[in-house]
Structure 1
Amino acid sequence: MNVAIIPARGGSKRIPKKNIKPFCGKPMVAHAIENALASPYVDKVVVSTDDESIANVARNYGAEVPFMRPAELADDYTGTSPVVRHALSTLLEKGWDINYCACVYATSPLLTTSLINSCYEMLMYADNTDYVFTAARFSFPIQRAILQTENGGVKPFDEFGITQRSQDLPPAFHDAGQLYWGHHKTWLDTTKRIFGANSKMVVMPDHLVQDIDTPEDWVRAELLYKILQSESVK
């Protein structure tokens, strides 16, 4: 079977209880759960959390919470991969027969089921691919970035790039922070990195990518979500 694992710890600082805070009518994590459950490529959705209130909300929306995440994996410094590895190892020990695993971020309400499907299909049909993830294009050439020095001055991030025309520079992309598909053996192999040479990306349109780390981000994401929902019903 294929599983979607949604990391959702309870210790968010800038937006308290962010993962279960109401977002356009339902808890934030519910959007990720429902979108993953709607995919024909996802058999079960598992929420990895250290918080009982998040666990209860997750179960109410159809996810499973067969374990509680240990405290050492629920701090401000633990990355995504160790959390997914812990979840997969625990599920395999419980006898789950897992093939592929999607990591879906709890704070990705703009991620659609069709994009979950597209990433999985790319993983299936692309040769020698470890991971497929969603990405977005930088709107401005990163080669023309500038840095502020300690004395308040500026210096180019890239001495060569700053001298080039924008249209002559190759596009650059960044992780959209939403979705990562890989075989469970790939996730468990610590030598294989999500952003390694054998990974591929599905480039998202800008209006489907929004970090939600601050109250301002939250407001912007809700506005985008409402616009997208109104457009989809026309």
Structure 2
Amino acid sequence: MNIAVIPARGGSKRIPKKNIKDFAGKPLIAYSIEAARLSGVFDKVIVSTDNKDIADIAISYGAEVPFIRPEELSNDFVGTVPVTNHAINFCIENFYKPEFCCCIYATAPFIEAKYLQNALGLLQKNHDKAFAFSVTSFAFPVQRALIQKGSGVAPMFPETISKRSQDLPEAYHDAGQFYWGRTDDYLSKKRMFSEHSIPVVLPRHLVQDIDTPEDWYRAELMYKAYIQGLKSD
């Protein structure tokens, strides 16, 4: 038994009502719900929210909202792991104990069902791993990053600033889409960003954070270009 947990609280400040704001014709959260359902690997797709409008829209797109998230898990400082664990414990107490759980961000319009399927397969094959989550590569070597220093600049890593790009190892960052885990490991103290995890590499054109209005504008442009490209293939 597997569950998806989509955290979606109603208190977004930089982009009001972000999780249900129209994105290229649909509420933003709809993309995550639809990908989870299309993947066919979940027995339940649960949206964890403290907001009735989000709950109603989530249900209309086929998700379940079996509880309203408690107030202590709905502030600006609560991470996604406590929210995911709350949903796992709710399932254990009211339905059954799921074997695997996938936390899916509500702000991931580029998410694709095949990557959810692939990540679960990797986790099932690698019994020594606790988690599998989405990453993507940096477009430029992070080892040659610059920082502002006074009115000028300085290398962040002086020891590698003069090295050729091809001589530096590729670096990755969290893609902010999905986080598979064995439920026992979610409920343990194991950390996601550690040796316990399998990185699932996504192409950069499918990754865009949506935290500010500028991010939103860029993401919509990327999405429309991506969809247009699919139609022309």
* Shorter-chain TM-score range: over 0.9
The TM-score normalised by the length of structure 1 is 0.94
Count of matched residue positions in the alignment of Structure 1 and Structure 2: 232
Instruction: Tell me the CA shift for residue 114 of structure 1.
Output: 0.8
Q: Which amino acid aligns with 2:138?
A: F
Task: Find the residue that maps to 2:5 and give its secondary structure.
Answer: strand
Conserved 8 A contact 1:37-1:43: no
Match of 1:197 in 2: 195
Asked if 1:230 corresponds to 2:228, the answer is: yes
* Runs (5+) with no aligned partner, structure 2: none
Give, in angstroms, the shift of residue 223 of structure 1.
2.0
Task: Using structure 2 for the length normalisation, give the TM-score.
Answer: 0.95
1:175, distance to aligned residue in structure 2 (A): 0.2
Q: How does 1:212-223 map to 2 (within 5 A)?
A: 212-223=210-221
Determine the C-alpha separation between the residues in 2 that align with 1:200 and 1:153.
Answer: 39
Q: How far off its partner does 1:50 sit?
A: 0.9
Distance 2:105 2:84 in 1: 11
Aligned to 1:177: 176
Deviates more, 1:153-162 or 1:72-81: 153-162
State which of 203, 206, 209 in structure 2 corresponds to 1:208: 206
1:105-130 alpha-carbon deviations (Å, 9 max, x no partner): 00001011111111111111124111
Residue 22 in structure 1 maps to residue 58 in structure 2:
no
* Cα distance between partner residues in 2 of 1:231 and 1:147: 36
Equivalent residues of 1:9, 1:74 under 8 A apart: yes
Q: Distance in 1 between matches of 2:86 and 2:103?
A: 12
Partner SS state of residue 161, structure 1: coil
Q: Could you tell me how far 1:35 is from its partner in structure 2?
A: 0.7
Deviation per CA, 1:13-59: give whole Å up to 9, x if none.
Answer: 11100000011111110110011011121121000111111011111
Deviation at 1:155, TM superposition (A): 2.7
Percent identity reads 50
Q: RMSD across aligned C-alpha pairs, in angstroms?
A: 1.3
Deviations 1:133-170 (A, max 9, x none): 11010111111112223x33433211211132221111
Deviation at 1:232, TM superposition (A): 2.9
